[in-house]
Structure 1
């Protein structure tokens, strides 16, 4: 479970102090599916970075399962990210010279998984997202939707507790968006993940069981009983 207490994030832009997050209090239970929406510059991606340990707050606590990520030494924080948190980004972030299988294997290298087991796990993860026949293809030989599936497999191959997605359908057309969301929701259900997603897409937001809206660094959360 995540518990955010009084989380602020300030940074300087020229002579101006920007409050990207301004006293965020938020609880995200285990197994939750939370969608975050809001205007550009409102703090959505900053919040996701806090949840993923990619940035540290100026003040406040970001507690995951009793551990304050904000206070961890960098080496331990890197270990938490490697073991417990999967990331999916809008831009896929695949290595263009590696095959789909090799890209997925990169998530297992920091965990010390041996080569044979890495290959087996990567193949299984790609099969789970419908790419069992594309193991040897390079990113440039695949569509945008297929590349995002590789990125999802890479995020999930290490069996994380949390999946964080930042605009994962932002570079895709409507049909591909629906396919990727189907994959993400299926994996959330099958694996019992805590799933937090940032999106500008109103169709995705309307289908969320819990929707957080961030404006000017402040957050409101509402339940959608119809979902």
Structure 2
């Protein structure tokens, strides 16, 4: 699935050079559920951006199913993200003026899916996350946990091979956090998705069969829980 070889990422901040990733190498097999932990600024989100083709490494290679993401054109990357990779973020990123169903449908617009098909697939995705009866609600009419479920449905509606989740429970209370992790774990088991979950929460990370820790741009494997 993923092969990362000697990836570095540096940023220039004024006169200061920030080394976000330092020679990271990693293999993630198809169907794995991997949690990535680490301190703020340690490189977690940068690594996830590399996996999602949202940023390019300064050096090294990131391949997904044999395709070099760093070597793709912007158009090729956009197509790969639209058809292969689903994203879930801490802040939900829902459009407040659209209903839950319409928010999910937006993920299919770049793929030029017909309107009727978009609607039926969006409804099925909401059903899969337990919100089949909330499709006509605006985000402001939903709880934080429900909004995150809509965001997960939006990621799933593309039928991706990979789900990348960046602190998906960071804005939720403990009870809702556990419900969202249960949902993600269930989707992993039922759909065979490859899931990479970035989290600062050890309770969440310990639910994953495989755990990694990244700090100061350096990655290491943690013992299985």
Q: Quick check: TM above 0.5? A: yes
Contact 1:209 1:223 in 2 (8 A): no
TM norm structure 1: 0.98
Deviations 1:8-40 (CA, angstroms, capped at 9, x unpaired): 000111211110000000000000111000011
For 2:87 and 2:188, the matched residues in 1 are separated by 13
CA positional deviation for 1:222: 2.8
1:182-197 aligned at under 5 Å gives the runs: 182-197=182-197
Aligned to 2:200: 200
Aligned to 1:131: 131
Aligned match of 1:170? 170
C-alpha separation in 1, matches of 2:123 and 2:175: 25
User: For residues 19-168 of structure 1, what are the structure 2 equivalents within 5 Å?
Assistant: 19-168=19-168
Q: 2:4 & 2:195 partners in 1: Cα distance?
A: 16
Cα deviation, 1:182-222, whole Å, max 9, x if unaligned, reads 11111111111100000011111222211110011000013
**Structure 1 residue ranges (4+ consecutive) displaced by more than 4 angstroms after TM superposition:** none
Aligned length: 225
Unaligned runs of 5+ in 1: none
Aligned-residue offset at 1:120: 0.4
Aligned-residue CA RMSD in angstroms? 0.7
CA distance in 2, matches of 1:126, 1:206: 27
**How high is the TM-score relative to the length of structure 2?**
0.99
For residues 125 and 113 of structure 2, what CA distance do their matches in structure 1 show?
Answer: 15
The residue that corresponds to 2:2 in the other structure is 2
Gaps of 5+ in 2: none
- Separation in 1, partners of 2:206, 2:133: 34
